[in-house]
Amino acid sequence: MAPEWPLENSMSDRLNATPNDLRAFWMPFTANRQFKKEPRLFVGAKDMYYTTHDGRQVLDGTAGLWCVNAGHCRPKITEAIRQQAGELDYAPAFQLGHPKAFELANRLVDIAPEGLDHVLYTNSGSESVETALKIALAYHRVKGNGSRFRLIGRERGYHGVNFGGISVGGIVSNRKMFGTLLTGVDHMPHTHLPGKNNFTRGEPEHGGDIASELERIVTLHDASTIAAVIVEPVAGSTGVLIPPKGYLQKLREICTKHGILLIFDEVITGFGRLGAPFAAQYYDVKPDMITTAKGLTNGVIPMGAVFVTSEIHDAFMQGPEHMIEFFHGYTYSGNPIASAAALATLDTYKEEGLLTRAAELSDYWADALHSLKDCPNVIDIRNTGLIGAIELDPIAGEPTKRAFTAFLKAYEKGLLIRTTGDIIALSPPLIIEKHHIDELFGKLREILQNNI
Ligand code: PLP
């Protein structure tokens, strides 16, 4: 007989999880076993705070995973999802459609940099990256330049976890277990210059000329073999690397000169993180494609989008009308519920001025962040928009331990931070108020000054 639902004494009815409750879920990227010994479960969230299974409030210093830009459980988004789920739950987007996916695409290109006039939908940042890389290769093919097969990424780059993304990505641990990856990929050096740019606010002075390494790669392989360059304008998951002054502009110049497409992976910088809708606008550098996800639906429903120029889009529209132009798409591309969530998210951003709010708060944020400079073991602090990073001196022989200890202590104190290696990364919801900033850095100071 099928069990009745809800199961009596299910984990959601109890305060504490037992080891048996936690047995089956192989968690993403997580220190599974550590977590299962000391579970940290959220059971609710509102605006800037999570509620834990034992009833505590935790200030969200990371917008979940860089995604809940409008804060948690926002009424407009919740209601849009509820309504859409009862009205049209699913509609294929292959030779069929529904109005909201089209309305959303128009709304998205309205806030995108000029000329990025078309949108393809995906379900995640990783899928957006795969989609953009495939478009780049196919674009050159349809233009008669099929010899352009190479993709150029960057050391320490993070572009999700699928094969294209880890191939152009540059985080060794994410790559080394998975064989040969894509062939024909090369990497530019990263822009982090320890000792030269420490404790910089905003864009570092030194390192803009590292972009000319792309010229070296072009000379090595010849431009006629290179399809695209992909970079995160601000690299987040590798520990927050802010582009040095002039760096992105120089990459753009080199790509244009050699007919190479420039892709900005804006999965974390998109939707207001820096104080403009996209980093492309913030840095005034226009790429040929932008990959997004996360903040598109406020993290509430999986959805991603790839923005492309008309030139790229139109290159695919030259054959007979009944023919498929681009052999790519997902069952859930433009899903009605995701589209409704994204439209309500855009409404919320607009009504509350959230796409530019980071610009208003960034000085206050930077002052509070950099005030931790005097704490023991802090070797660097960097920031831009509503992003911050605090780099800690690794304990000899025990890398990552210091930051992970900070993470555990912060959670105990009611603060969510994120760590990569020995770097603490911060990216709160854009609805954050000054008193939350004070609370966040007050808690961090209590932790860091105790010489963890
Ligand atoms: N690209 C960048 C720049 C990211 O930061 C991330 C995730 O953090 C991704 C891609 C992958 O996104 P997802 O986890 O939604 O696949």
Q: Ligand 1 mean position to 159 CA, how many Å?
A: 6
Which residues neighbour 155 within 8 Å (Cβ) at sequence distance 6 or greater?
170, 187, 188, 189, 190
342, 303 Cβ separation under 8 angstroms: yes
Per-residue pLDDT at 18? 85
> Which residue carries 């802010």 as its tokens?
242
Per-residue pLDDT at 430? 99
What distance in Å separates the CA atoms of residue 236 and residue 251, rounded to the nearest whole number? 19
Pocket test for ligand 1, best of 234, 238, 268, 269 (most atoms within 8 A of CB): 268
Sheet containing 423-426, strands listed edge to edge, beginning at the edge strand earlier in sequence: 378-384, 387-392, 423-426, 418-420
Residue 274 has pLDDT above 90, yes or no: yes
pLDDT digits (tens, 9 = 90+) for 9-33: 678 777 788 888 999 999 999 888 8
Nearest CA to ligand 1 atom 1: 159
What is the residue extent of each domain of the chain?
32-73+355-450, 78-352
Q: Ligand 1 mean position to 319 CA, how many Å?
A: 34
For the entire predicted model, the pTM comes to 0.97
Q: Ligand 1 mean position to 175 CA, how many Å?
A: 15
Per-residue pLDDT at 11? 82
According to CATH, the topology of domain 78-352 is Aspartate Aminotransferase; domain 2 (3.40.640)
Nearest CA to ligand 1 atom 12: 125
What distance in Å separates the CA atoms of residue 353 and residue 395, rounded to the nearest whole number? 42
158, 209 Cβ separation under 8 angstroms: no
Which residues neighbour 324 within 8 Å (Cβ) at sequence distance 6 or greater?
none
pLDDT digits (tens, 9 = 90+) for 67-88: 999 999 999 999 999 999 999 9
- For 33, phi then psi, to 5°, come to -70, -40
Per-residue pLDDT at 267? 98
Across 84-117, b (16+ Cβ under 10 Å) vs e yields beeeeeeeebeeeebebbeebbebbbebbbeebb
* Among the listed residues 432, 417, 411, the one whose alpha carbon sits nearest the alpha carbon of residue 41: 411
Q: Ligand 1 mean position to 267 CA, how many Å?
A: 6
Q: Ligand 1 mean position to 277 CA, how many Å?
A: 17
402, 392 Cβ separation under 8 angstroms: yes
Pocket test for ligand 1, best of 294, 298, 418, 419 (most atoms within 8 A of CB): 294
Type of residue numbered 259: G
Ligand 1 pocket list (CB less than 6 A): 124-126, 129, 158-160, 232, 236-237, 265, 267-268, 293
pLDDT digits (tens, 9 = 90+) for 174-184: 999 999 999 99
Per-residue pLDDT at 408? 96
Residue 3 has pLDDT above 60, yes or no: no
Residue 374 CB burial class (10 angstroms; 0-12, 13-18, ≥19): exposed
Closest atom, ligand 1, to C-alpha of 265: 3
The second-level CATH assignment, the architecture, of 32-73+355-450 is: Alpha-Beta Complex (3.90)
**Residue 156 pLDDT grade (very low, low, confident, very high; cuts 50, 70, 90):** very high
- Rounded to the nearest integer, the mean pLDDT of the chain is 96
What distance in Å separates the CA atoms of residue 76 and residue 134, rounded to the nearest whole number? 35
Query: How many H helices and E strands in the chain?
Result: 15, 15
pLDDT digits (tens, 9 = 90+) for 187-236: 999 999 999 999 999 999 999 999 999 999 999 999 999 999 999 999 99
Per-residue pLDDT at 9? 67
